[in-house]
Amino acid sequence: MLYPLVSPPLGIMYLGAYLRSRFDTDIQLVNQKLDNISDDNLVKMAADFNADIVGFSVLTTSAHTLNSLTKKCRSKLPSALIVIGGPHVSAFGPDVLEGSSADAAVAGEGEVPMEQIIHAHFECGSLEDVPGIFRKNKDGEIVKNAGETPQVKDLDTLPMPAYDLINLPSYWKHQSMPPIPRRKYASLLSSRGCPFKCIFCHRIFRKTIRKHSAERMTEEIRYLQKKYNINDIEFLDDIFNIDSSRVFEFSKLVRQKNIKTKIAFPNALRSDLLTYEIIDALIEAGMYFCSFALESGSHRIQKMIKKNLDIQLFLKNIEYAARNKVFTNGFAMLGFPTETAKDLKATIDVACKSMLHTISFFTVTPFPNTELYTYIMRTNPEKLSAIKYDDITFCGTTVNLSDVSDKEFFQYQRKANHSFYFNPNRIMRILRDFPQPYLLPLYLPIVMHRFTKGLILSKKIN
């Protein structure tokens, strides 16, 4: 199955492992997406488990069910502590408690705040002294506690994610982040945070970067290989290659320890921080798939969104990786505010000029708690109410924040896909280099969706 995408829930696996190392407790992890579990069944599972604490890890795409879910949970487990966490809280802050039956919510990293919540709940029955969390007070009002939620300083002190609390092989029948279905793989996160200041980013792990050591990364891979006999690892870091010396050390350790694995970077490497030497080191470690985020091909827009990507280096490093047999995937964003036809064309031109095998042209979608959202709130607030955050594709989103008309905007999105993919050389390279070419037909519905975007809507406009 290709959609919805599913991958091992690293966030709650990290939380589970950490809390087990702090408390003598039983933990059950359930991934509602994996087996398509209904809300009623999910709540029944919590009730059957007789949970004292129920935590929900939420992405904004599925947040629309949160209020009814927490209400159902409250009615089955009246005295349980209900806590909401995950990226949705980092975006929407205290609003996630509005209309919900949860007691508290945690933005950002969850390990230490959750430990503090559990201590406070069982020792004094009140969460009012837990720093930085959102909670409901005695009168049911939503408040933010003073201070900031603490983060773990040294990631290597964290126990490994709790693999024993999930059934890893059951994830292999779904597609995860890289467009390569049906692999025996595991996901790893080797760093948290990113120092760059892109205006569309959530900053879930804030701006300071913390990293696992190369030693810990290779130990984790060895453990997974031994336990599950896998030879395919995906790193989900926001910026794996921020520290080139760690990349070299990792590559050296992989070779020294004779670790034989394929490695994918589906969440992108920062292309202008790469050099040929770094790419070689990654290939020697096993890199066979890598995403590169262009976002925009327009220098003006690069500056405005504060990504400031060096587009020449982007092109040069992708070419080098692709020539060295890495399957290269790109991400681009169309529809930034003030974006003109010239800017849109620049993005399409750079994408087409590149040696990327595949690319997704996403539609810019502002999330609360980002600089981009504040900007739109000031300049074009009526657009915000039209955004459908439950659209899980982000290519289908039809809110256009650019300076061109809707009709023209959709034309550019279709043109972007047509110009990029209707290129015999690219099609040949995809067929030659895609890791599982016989599965390519599975992607036809997605391709069709992207190639026809806005057509039904533009008929309405006409």
Q: Which of 20, 22, 33, 300 binds ligand B12 (CB under 6 A)?
A: 33
Using the rule CB under 6 A, is 55 a contact of ligand B12? yes
Whether the CA torsion 111, 91, 454, 456 is positive or negative: it is positive
CB of 312 vs ligand B12, minimal distance in Å: 26
Using the rule CB under 6 A, is 394 a contact of ligand B12? yes
CB of 390 vs ligand B12, minimal distance in Å: 8
CB closer to ligand B12 out of 18 and 420 = 18
Q: What is the dihedral of CA 189, 191, 193, 195, to 10 degrees?
A: -140
Could you give the CA distance from residue 51 to residue 38 in angstroms, rounded to a whole number? 18
Under 8 Å between Cβ of 265 and 289 = yes
Q: 3-class SS at 213?
A: coil
Could you give the CA distance from residue 313 to residue 279 in angstroms, rounded to a whole number? 13
Q: Per CB under 6 A, which region of 84-92, 244-252, 338-346, 348-356 contacts ligand B12?
A: 84-92
Binding mask 271-310 for ligand B12 (x = CB under 6 A): ----------------------------------------
| Nearest-CB residue for ligand B12 | 85
Q: Per CB under 6 A, which region of 197-205, 305-313, 336-344, 415-423 contacts ligand B12?
A: 197-205
Under 8 Å between Cβ of 356 and 330 = yes
Q: Which of 17, 106, 253, 351 binds ligand B12 (CB under 6 A)?
A: 106
Size of the site for ligand B12 (CB under 6 A): 41
Q: Which of 16, 19, 57, 285 binds ligand B12 (CB under 6 A)?
A: 57
Could you give the CA distance from residue 31 to residue 104 in angstroms, rounded to a whole number? 21
Residue type, 6: V
Binding mask 202-221 for ligand B12 (x = CB under 6 A): x-x-----------------
CB closer to ligand B12 out of 210 and 345 = 210
Under 8 Å between Cβ of 362 and 331 = yes
CB closer to ligand B12 out of 12 and 283 = 12
Residue type, 273: L
CA angle 188, 190, 192 (to 5 degrees): 115
Q: What is the DSSP string of 93-110?
A: GGGGGTT---SEE--S--
Could you give the CA distance from residue 265 to residue 260 in angstroms, rounded to a whole number? 17
Contact residues toward ligand B12 (CB under 6 A) are 4-7, 9-12, 14-15, 33, 55, 57, 59-62, 83, 85-88, 91, 106, 109-111, 114, 176-177, 189, 201-202, 204, 236, 238, 267, 367, 392-394
